[in-house]
């Protein structure tokens, strides 16, 4: 194993404490720190040391796919690391968004060839399913809830203009498409008045509180009302949310470990000053109820848990070692990225042992032996989902 150095993205919604605390740095940080990227995505690749210089992991994987990925991973995904591990830290809501499936991504990327960057929805031909595990209490909107619940929430505001949306939702899942389209197409000149009426009429309750909160952050944004059609979940540390393709979601607050397919394809639906392509979003969305967005960890051995997902781009394991479980061995094939999320751990893949403090990361090639983790701390291990 060898040290892996990940860049921190400074998006405006980021926290000025969460990642700094994880890495043992001074709080508050100089500016917002939203995401720590630990992978080989070209947008912000991590790096390793080579002869005293930092070398991009993108370049190493591209030039030596057999060593870094192994035969099975490189045959399946080509000369690229198929997953991206992140630490995500939100102090303000992220945009309402969804991601395409693999077929939609390939088609969308090809169709937009030649368009300037500002008019593109697709930056690559890959899908982007996501799993996020809470490190702190974490709040999110994820997937459509039962339309009848959403209908009652909107009807409770007593705003006559919302009657067509309420009627569509009371028709059940078949009305979700109509409800979302109506809200996103709301005339720009009338959005201030609509959200003003909603906030003024808001009674006490979770939906009213959420509407007030989102309207304060994003006035005149119809995504505020679309957000009320989604599950509003609060995770405790160790709980996870799984976001498959086509599910509308937004992270609101908290810090978590996120793993995803290595893509940057995002279709936005509101709660953002960035471009929203309503037609393309509607094409990608799945207008169905997401019945169980929250996933609990599943034990697979002493001190080792994982969150099974139905994709082969990635898998994520959590390892907790200490007095009760001094060490754990994971027979996971490479490549492997390890993040220490607390305490101090030693990771050894047979090619070399490395001690990591909280917030530090390591990477091992495909040629490594079963991964052994010891010490007193918590680690997250990212690998491909191929077995």
Active site residues: 268
The 3-class SS string of the chain reads CEEEECCEECCCCEECCHHHHHCCCCCCCCCCECEEEEECCCCCCCEEEECCEEEEHHHHHHHCHHHHHHHHHHHHHCCCCCEEEEEEEECCCCCEEECCCHHHHHHHHHHCCCCCHHHCCCCCCCCCCEEEEECCCEEEEEEECCHHHHHHHHHCCCCHHHHHHHHHHHCCHHHHHHHHHHHHCCCHHHHHHHHHHHHHHCCCCHHHHHHHHHHHHCCCCCHHHHHCCEEEEEECCCCEEEECCCCCEEEEEEEEEEEEECCCCCEEEECCCCCCCHHHHHHHCCCCECCCCEECCEEEECCEEECCCCCCCCEEEEEEECCCCCEEEECCCCCEEEEEEEEEEEEECCCCEEEEECCCEEEECCCCCCEEEEEEEEEEEEECCCC
* Burial class of 7 by CB neighbour count within 10 A (0 to 12, 13 to 18, 19+): middle
Give the separation between CA 271 and CA 261, rounded to whole angstroms: 24
């Amino acid at each position: 194993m060898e040290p892996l150095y990940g860049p921190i993205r400074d998006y405006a919604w980021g926290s000025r404490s969460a990642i700094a605390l994880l890495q043992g740095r001074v709080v508050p940080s100089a500016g917002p720190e939203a995401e720590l990227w630990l992978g080989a995505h070209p947008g912000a690749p991590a790096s390793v040391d080579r002869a005293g210089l930092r070398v991009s992991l993108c370049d190493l994987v591209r030039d030596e796919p057999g060593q870094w990925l192994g035969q099975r991973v490189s045959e399946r995904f080509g000369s690229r690391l198929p997953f991206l591990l992140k630490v995500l830290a939100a102090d303000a809501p992220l945009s309402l968004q969804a991601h395409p499936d693999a077929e939609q991504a390939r088609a969308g990327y090809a169709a937009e060839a030649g368009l300037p960057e500002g008019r593109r929805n697709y930056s690559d031909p890959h899908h982007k399913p996501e799993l996020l595990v809470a490190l702190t209490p974490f709040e999110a909107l994820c997937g459509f809830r039962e339309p009848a619940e959403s209908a009652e929430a909107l009807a409770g505001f007593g705003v006559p203009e919302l009657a067509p949306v309420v009627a569509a939702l009371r028709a059940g899942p078949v009305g979700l498409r109509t409800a979302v389209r109506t809200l996103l197409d709301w005339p720009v000149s009338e959005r201030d008045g609509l959200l003003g009426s909603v906030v003024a009429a808001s009674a006490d309750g979770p939906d009213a509180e959420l509407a007030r909160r989102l309207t304060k952050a994003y006035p005149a944004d119809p995504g505020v009302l679309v957000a009320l059609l989604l599950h509003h979940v609060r995770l405790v540390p160790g709980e996870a949310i799984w976001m498959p393709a086509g599910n509308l979601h937004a992270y609101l607050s908290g810090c978590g470990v996120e793993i995803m397919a290595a893509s940057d394809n995002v279709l936005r639906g509101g709660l953002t000053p960035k471009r929203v392509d309503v037609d393309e979003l509607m094409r990608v969305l799945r207008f169905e109820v997401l019945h169980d967005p929250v996933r609990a960890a599943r034990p697979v051995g002493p001190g080792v848990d994982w969150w099974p997902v139905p994709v082969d781009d990635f898998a994520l394991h959590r390892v907790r070692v200490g007095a009760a479980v001094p060490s754990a061995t994971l027979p996971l094939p490479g490549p492997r990225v390890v993040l220490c999320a607390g305490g101090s751990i030693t990771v050894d893949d047979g090619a070399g042992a490395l001690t990591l403090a909280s917030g530090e990361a390591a990477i091992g090639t495909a040629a490594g032996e079963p991964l052994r983790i010891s010490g007193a701390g918590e680690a997250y291990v990212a690998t491909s989902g191929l077995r």
